[in-house]
Amino acid sequence: MGIVVTGATGSLGRLVIDELLAKVPAEQISAVVRNKEKAADLAARGVELRIADYSRPETLAGAFRAGDRVLLISGSEVGQRVAQHTAVVEAAQAADVAQLAYTGVLGGPEADFQLAAEHKVTEELILDSGLPYTFLRNGWYHENYTEHLAPVLEHNAVVASAGKGRVASAARADYAAAAATVLTGEGHVGQVYELSGDVAWSFAEYAAELSRQTGRTIAYSNVPAETLLSILTGAGLPQPLAEILVDVDAGIERGLLAGTTGDLARLAGRPTTPLADAVAAALAAS
């Protein structure tokens, strides 16, 4: 059995490789990467490198083998992901892989924010392909927030337009552990997992946790969507990306990222990482 992780030098991909190396011999693991040099540390650990690019379908012809269990980690280039994922699905289909696991978004077809659109199309592509699949519908990462603390600490404010909405986030490492379980275990083909943290928190609670750990007064500033859009574009974000992030906040206010199914903890084999732990780690690293 070969296990293949695409996007293996990304933040999630590296964590999945770590989890796999704790479960199976390195010679069973392959990493699909664009840059061989960037993945030198993986090769040094005994992981086979397969050089390919989502955006260059011809390079994917040798990325998979018959019988492989493949994790398709969704691309990061919004607007290009349907074409990129199509190329991966077609290559996996041609190779006759034994399993294609895909990291989608919490809620699947029910997620109606813009960022979910390409994920929903990708799931349909995989279903239409006839490949044995597993859908890992990932919720939000703690790191979506804790990796961007500088402006929060500078202004002593958590700024969002999510109202009283709640987010059941978890650490990337939790999602990586779940993916490794699906890739190495049995009974996961044909399954759909809604993955999220054990506890859903509000932005007011997030601000309170930051206040507790920093000893400062950090408030939650709930602003209109138009104001948040201006703040994000003023900080240098491209207009299309800023609009997507504002739209996510609207989805959070509607409760779309608050679900706590328990699937993530069950697959990871442990409770999900508390938000407070992620805040502490981010503050220690800052």
pLDDT single digits (tens) 38-54: 999 999 999 999 999 98
Position 95 scores a pLDDT of 96
Confidence bin at 272 (pLDDT 50/70/90): very high
CA separation for the pair 37, 44 (Å, rounded): 11
Confidence bin at 79 (pLDDT 50/70/90): confident
Which CATH number does the domain 3-140+171-195 belong to among 3.40.50.720, 3.30.1330.120, 3.40.640.10, 3.30.2020.10?
3.40.50.720
Position 75 scores a pLDDT of 86
Confidence bin at 76 (pLDDT 50/70/90): confident
pLDDT single digits (tens) 175-196: 999 999 999 999 999 999 999 9
Residue 256 has pLDDT above 80, yes or no: yes
Position 135 scores a pLDDT of 98
CB contact at 8 A, 246 and 113: no
In the chain, domain spans: 3-140+171-195
CA separation for the pair 5, 17 (Å, rounded): 7
Q: Are strands 166-167 and 201-202 parallel, antiparallel or unpaired?
A: antiparallel
Q: What is the pTM of this model?
A: 0.96
pLDDT single digits (tens) 116-167: 999 999 999 999 999 999 999 999 999 999 999 999 999 999 999 999 999 9
Residue 80 has pLDDT above 90, yes or no: no
CA separation for the pair 149, 206 (Å, rounded): 12
CB contact at 8 A, 88 and 58: no
Position 1 scores a pLDDT of 77
